[in-house]
Amino acid sequence: MIKIGIIGFGYWGPNLVRNFSSQKEGNVIAIAETRKERHPSISVNYSNTIIYSNTSELINNVDIDAVVIATPVFSHYSLAKEALLAGKHVLLEKPMTSSVDESKELIDIAKSKNLVLMVDHTFLYTGAVQKMKKLIDQKQLGKLQYFDSTRINLGLFQPDVNVLWDLAPHDISILNYLVKNKPFSVNATGVSHTNNGIENVAYMTINYEDDFIAHFNCSWTSPVKVRSTLIGGDDKMLVYNDLEPSEKIRIYDTGYNHTSDEEKNRIMVDYRTGDVFIPKLSSQEALFGVAFDFIDSIINSKEPLANAELGLEVVKVLEASQKSIKNRGKEIII
């Protein structure tokens, strides 16, 4: 039985407790929350759990095998480092850390101490992403050409990170999981409408060494909520709409062929449209899969699917996007 401590008990906290406690091989035995005014409501609901106001006390509790860190991003690095050095396996909320250097250092420590270090990129464990992964690995889309994601909504301004750091980690992690190509460079643009310099509208292109391209449209100030991604291959294309209750993925047997018309020195393009297929998806709660994978990786000394390397790749893109925005859209090599 893996004994787990959770650091930071905000919006996501009850979900973490519920999903870790429903694991066969896991149990949440302690929660650390520095905002003491929240302790009473925690203790009412989780009467068998130790509650700390000091995070180090939790980290140094020798009964605890693994620590889940669900605090604001800026604190991830120091808490994770402390936990790893104390010999605990660590699951970090996304994004992994505020910088590439921090992520790399955590990876090195985890490796040297043979500990599991994982990032909660929950979307990778959804039925929709798992289905897309399978389709792409089976080459059903053909050669991939583009990934075009829109994640916009009204509300939920973050006070310390911009809209890309807040919303894009979901889509970047999905992109990196689905596509084997490595991002080569990033261009990003955006503006802040709140005078604090934190962009609430931003756009990002990830460039690759070949003709694959990825694009991200993120906003906290859209009147409509959109969470959709188009993925194009040269055989088929798909639309992933996360707001659909069950029909999240539509696969279009649609494409085009190009031929050279040498006489006119031109490329001629014909396209075809075909059937559309909407697969049934697994409805298992994604966070249950995260919790299972974390515990399973600890028990069996294996790499989780949302491993630290994947988390690092996401931070690399985010860090580059920030540099690009501050350099007026300049290409930043990753």
Residues near its own copies (CB under 8 A): 145-146, 148, 150, 152, 154-155, 157, 159, 185, 187, 189-196, 198, 201, 203, 205, 207, 211-213, 215, 217, 219-224, 230, 232, 234, 237-239, 246-247, 250, 252-254, 256, 258, 264, 266-269, 271, 273-280, 328-331
Alpha carbon distance 134, 149 (integer Å): 19
Q: How far is the CB of 333 from its own copies (least distance, A)?
A: 10
Nearer to its own copies, 15 or 222 (CB): 222
Q: How far is the CB of 141 from its own copies (least distance, A)?
A: 11
SS3 for 228? strand
Nearer to its own copies, 98 or 187 (CB): 187
Alpha carbon separation from 316 to 10, 94, 182, 313 (Å, rounded): 27, 13, 11, 5
Q: How far is the CB of 14 from its own copies (least distance, A)?
A: 15
CB atoms within 10 A of CB 156: 9
Q: Which two tokens stand for residue 69?
A: 């860190």
Q: How far is the CB of 189 from its own copies (least distance, A)?
A: 4
Alpha carbon distance 115, 89 (integer Å): 5
Alpha carbon distance 141, 234 (integer Å): 7
Nearer to its own copies, 34 or 189 (CB): 189
Alpha carbon distance 220, 171 (integer Å): 15
Nearer to its own copies, 87 or 279 (CB): 279
With tokens 């925690």, the residue in question is 42
Contact between 185 and 332 (Cβ < 8 Å) = yes
SS3 for 3? strand
Nearer to its own copies, 36 or 264 (CB): 264
Of 136, 140, 137, 133, residue with least CA distance to 274 = 140
Q: How far is the CB of 120 from its own copies (least distance, A)?
A: 25
Whether a cis peptide bond, with omega within 30° of 0, leads into 95 is yes
| Residue 248 amino acid letter | K
Nearer to its own copies, 148 or 285 (CB): 148
**Pairing assessment for the beta strands 213-219 and 144-154 based on DSSP bridges:** parallel
Q: How far is the CB of 61 from its own copies (least distance, A)?
A: 27
Q: How far is the CB of 133 from its own copies (least distance, A)?
A: 18
Nearer to its own copies, 57 or 247 (CB): 247
SS3 for 226? strand
Nearer to its own copies, 67 or 132 (CB): 132
Q: Which two tokens stand for residue 108?
A: 């090195």
Q: How far is the CB of 236 from its own copies (least distance, A)?
A: 8
Q: Which two tokens stand for residue 202?
A: 């931003």
